Every structure is written in C-alpha cells, then in structure tokens.
Amino acid sequence: ELKVEQNPLFLSMQEGKNYTIYCNYSTTSDRLYWYRQDPGKSLESLFVLLSNGAVKQEGRLMASLDTKARLSTLHITAAVHDLSATYFCAVDISFGNEKLTFGTGTRLTIIP
C-alpha cells in the first residue's frame, strides 16, 4: 500500500523566513504534485513534477523531486502572510494508474 507522509504537519513561521516542507512516499512513482488549499476551498494546483531531479519555481515557492530517495520538497522563501494555507503533496504511482494518493497535509501559518 502506498503511503505518503508529509512533515511537518503544522508549521508556524514568521514573515521573511525560509522553510521547507517534506513529502516522503513509500513506492516508486512517475509523478508528484503539490497543491494548496485555503480554508473551505478546493485545491489549487501548484506544481507537477515529472522526473527525477525536477525543480520548479513559482514566486516564493520552489518544489523539487528526488525519485531515488522517494522525496519531494516544497521550499518557501521569505514567507509572506498570503502563503498561509494547507499544502498537500500527491503521488501518482504510475501514469496508467491515474490515481492520486494524497499526503497528510501541512498547515502553514505565517505570522506577521
């Protein structure tokens, strides 16, 4: 059974600081996704990582994928309050499988 774990589960950080959210998964995967969820809302797609060593950046967020270590990271640079949300990673075991297994989620709170 595929397991997807994120840490930390909760993260409270000050504005302007840097931090990293980790996503570990238990079996080989073709691709990994990062999503953002605001309270009461659905998911917003952030990144799609398709290969080992993939790195993508958008604004203050940068995601990377190491398929050998079965690890993805979401790095936050110089956090601002608007980044407060819950972040999920999700793993697709194989392209043909088409099913996502979501991580536990990381609730991020940015403190002014």
Residue ranges binding other proteins (CB under 8 A)? 31, 33, 35, 40-43, 45, 48, 50, 88, 90, 95, 98-105
Q: Residue 54 in contact with residue 109, Cβ under 8 Å?
A: no
In angstroms, what is the minimal distance from the CB of 43 to other proteins? 4
In angstroms, what is the minimal distance from the CB of 18 to other proteins? 25
In angstroms, what is the minimal distance from the CB of 31 to other proteins? 7
Strands 10-14 and 106-111: parallel
Q: Which is nearer to other proteins, 40 or 112 (CB)?
A: 40
Whole-angstrom distance, CA of residue 84 vs CA of residue 3: 25
Q: Which is nearer to other proteins, 36 or 80 (CB)?
A: 36
Q: Which is nearer to other proteins, 50 or 55 (CB)?
A: 50
Residue of 19, 11, 31 whose CA lies nearest to 72: 31
Q: Residue 73 in contact with residue 61, Cβ under 8 Å?
A: no
